[in-house]
Structure 1
Amino acid sequence: MTKIWRETGFVENDPWVIETDEAKAEGEQKALLPLDQFIEKAEASNDVGLGVLIKPADDVTRLEPYLYRIEIVAVDFPAFNDGRAFSHASLLRDRLAYRNELRAVGDVLIDQVPLMLRCGIDSFAVTNATALKRLSEDRLPGIAVHYQPTSRHAEAGEGYSWRRRSA
């Protein structure tokens, strides 16, 4: 079972569905389309409020002309040891200035959630039983000291977002 989690808690009735040959968005649901299908749809219409799924091998910069029309970008973590989605998230937030919802899908593990948050990911499609349990108990692991740059800015009064101690 997949649940959507944000820092404010679990989300009920999330409308986004990753479309495959077997699963299609129906009724009030909205489609998260693979990159090529998304671009095809965007080129054929003037629709806004679209959703796209970015796989690890995709070139996220292909989204640049369509960013103002995208409501959500889902970045896929197919395995815990495949970190390309971290790079996609950072690129979207920092270089392409994407400000709408950025969701982690796939193998979302509790230990990686704080790092995903630092890259600018703000919602998570969680299926891992341990992650679901810990998130429901509000037991997100912390990282005390950060030395790398981040999409999240430092708290007021702190000058270096990459050199700070977390509370």
Structure 2
Amino acid sequence: MKQFHKISCIILLVFLAGCGDREATGTEPLTKNDVQQNNEIKKELVDIDPQAADVIQLFFENYNDIYKWSNYASSNYLEALFREFLEGPIARSLNENIDKYAKVANEKNIRKLTNYEIIRSRQINEDEIRILVKRLFSDNYTDQTSFRLKKIENEWKFDGVFYGDWK
């Protein structure tokens, strides 16, 4: 049981490491000029749906601002985030949960994403894509995280996160 608790805490810390809020801290979202690998990112994403490639780029360029990146996430993704991150009951209102998340993220001074690199992408089928991303944060912490995107009502949305690589 202790091992499970340790693993759960590590997963939670890694997840929280990449989440934050621009509004309360004044940190601007990443811009195309801030991300040095934009050309490499586009090359890596060339074999997937172009609309999904745009969503991926917008998600990471706005990663430090939940008010923006949440537009590129499914309700399942956001609900899982809120259940892991917020204490107490989850509100029925998405906007209320986003506000609570932004406030808590600011209070906990969550590290900010400063750069990212798409290491690998794979279109699983017409409605699912997986990407492996190397992320660099404001305190020089780096990780590799796999994300799943799903096409929901004709729009690509981030729908899952897996720490480490997919097999």
The TM-score, its normalising length taken from structure 1, stands at: 0.23
Q: Which has the higher contact order (CA 8 A, sep 6+)?
A: 2
The TM-score, its normalising length taken from structure 2, stands at: 0.23
